[in-house]
């Protein structure tokens, strides 16, 4: 293997160390950073995510307030709770764990969150700010990818960056962040033709597809930086990313592993948004 493997846990730990100090300053001012976590229903993966976020928040000194609601909760009831949390001056960040049960209008819930407390960065106000180059809260996974690129000293300006995936939570904001950092950005998706050629031309590849080892190592340009956002479970239960890691690591200059790459950064960036929200309150 020739690539440097980017240790997301180490970068996330360093960020959390800074956050701990900033959170302590907020506490000393009588304003402990507080995150309201809203979980609706009993999706097992969501429960795990919420538990991990709560544990990490506590380590940093962020107070979490859990609101666990039954799957039968209506859109109106959930909007009511989110509005109440938006109006509560002791709450700095609101996280509504996605996906919500099928019967709930996710867009209505998102719009009910005060944009100044939207620590996920999914409210149109925050996505719009990102688009015009005046970001407030940036979606946590793309923000974490940018921090990983910075930690590895990857040059972005003028380089050709390929984002594979165009979701609102990962692909689109990722493309915006790379554009803002002066990359020449291509955003590929399920209708893209000749994806292998696009990958072979890219200096930076961010894979956010959700398909196990979909990006073949042989497609990677020698010396490229590869950020693997995907989290997929193989038939044997083990986790893997969207990139064929071992083969890609033979060609890339830097690469993130799965697990232990982007995942820890996503949580750390969420906590960074909560501390920032508390500082600005």
Residue numbers at the binding site for ligand NAD (CB under 6 A): 141, 164-167, 169-171, 188-190, 192, 195, 208-210, 229-232, 262-263, 266
Is beta strand 63-69 parallel, antiparallel or unpaired with respect to 34-40?
A: parallel
In whole angstroms, give the CA distance from residue 73 to residue 65: 18
Q: Take residue 17 and report the two structure tokens written for it.
A: 């160390």
Nearer to ligand NAD by C-beta: 29 or 55?
55
Q: Take residue 155 and report the two structure tokens written for it.
A: 């040059």
Q: Take residue 75 and report the two structure tokens written for it.
A: 């859109």
Nearer to ligand NAD by C-beta: 170 or 274?
170
The SS3 assignment for 163 reads strand
Q: Which of 114, 120, 203, 242 is catalytic?
A: 120
In whole angstroms, give the CA distance from residue 278 to residue 196: 44
Give, as one character, the DSSP assignment of residue 270: H
Q: Which of 97, 114, 117, 203 is catalytic?
A: 97
Q: How far is the CB of 266 from ligand NAD (least distance, A)?
A: 3
Nearer to ligand NAD by C-beta: 116 or 169?
169
Nearer to ligand NAD by C-beta: 61 or 261?
261
**In this structure, what is the dihedral angle of CA atoms 236, 237, 241, 245, given to the nearest 10 degrees?**
-40
Q: How far is the CB of 230 from ligand NAD (least distance, A)?
A: 4
Q: How far is the CB of 15 from ligand NAD (least distance, A)?
A: 14
The verdict on whether 53 is a catalytic residue reads yes
Tokens 């340009």 map to which residue?
221
Q: Which of 53, 117, 172, 221 is catalytic?
A: 53
Nearer to ligand NAD by C-beta: 80 or 99?
99
Q: How far is the CB of 190 from ligand NAD (least distance, A)?
A: 4
Buried/exposed 158-176: b ≥16 CB within 10 Å, e otherwise = ebbbbbbbbbebbbbbbbb
Q: How far is the CB of 84 from ligand NAD (least distance, A)?
A: 28
Let me know: does 103 contact 69? Beta carbons within 8 Å.
no
Is beta strand 232-233 parallel, antiparallel or unpaired with respect to 239-240?
A: antiparallel
The verdict on whether 97 is a catalytic residue reads yes
In whole angstroms, give the CA distance from residue 125 to residue 114: 10
Which positions are catalytic?
A: 53, 97, 120
């Amino acid at each position: 293997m020739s690539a440097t493997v980017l240790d997301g846990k180490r970068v996330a730990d360093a960020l959390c160390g800074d956050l701990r100090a900033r959170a302590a300053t907020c506490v000393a001012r009588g304003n402990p950073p507080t995150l309201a976590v809203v979980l609706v229903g009993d999706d097992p993966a969501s429960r795990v995510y919420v538990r991990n976020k709560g544990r990490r928040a506590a380590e940093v000194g962020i107070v979490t307030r859990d609101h666990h609601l039954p799957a039968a909760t209506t859109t109106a009831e959930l909007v009511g709770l989110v509005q109440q949390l938006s109006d509560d001056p002791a709450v700095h960040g609101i996280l509504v764990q996605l996906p919500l049960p099928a019967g709930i209008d996710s867009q209505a819930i998102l719009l009910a969150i005060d944009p100044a407390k939207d620590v996920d960065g999914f409210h149109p106000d925050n996505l719009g700010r990102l688009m015009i180059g005046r970001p407030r809260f940036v979606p946590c996974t793309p923000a974490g990818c940018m921090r990983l690129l910075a930690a590895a000293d990857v040059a972005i300006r003028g380089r050709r960056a390929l984002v594979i995936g165009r979701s609102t939570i990962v692909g689109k904001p990722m493309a915006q962040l790379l554009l803002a950092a002066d990359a020449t950005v291509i955003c590929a998706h399920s209708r893209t033709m000749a994806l292998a050629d696009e990958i072979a031309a890219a200096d930076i590849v961010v894979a956010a597809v959700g398909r196990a080892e979909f990006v073949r190592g042989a497609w990677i340009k020698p010396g490229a930086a590869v950020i693997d956002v995907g989290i997929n479970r193989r038939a044997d239960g083990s986790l893997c990313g969207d990139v064929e890691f071992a083969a890609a690591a033979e060609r890339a200059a830097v690469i993130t592993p799965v697990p232990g790459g982007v995942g820890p950064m996503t949580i750390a960036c969420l906590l960074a948004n909560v501390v920032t929200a508390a500082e600005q309150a």
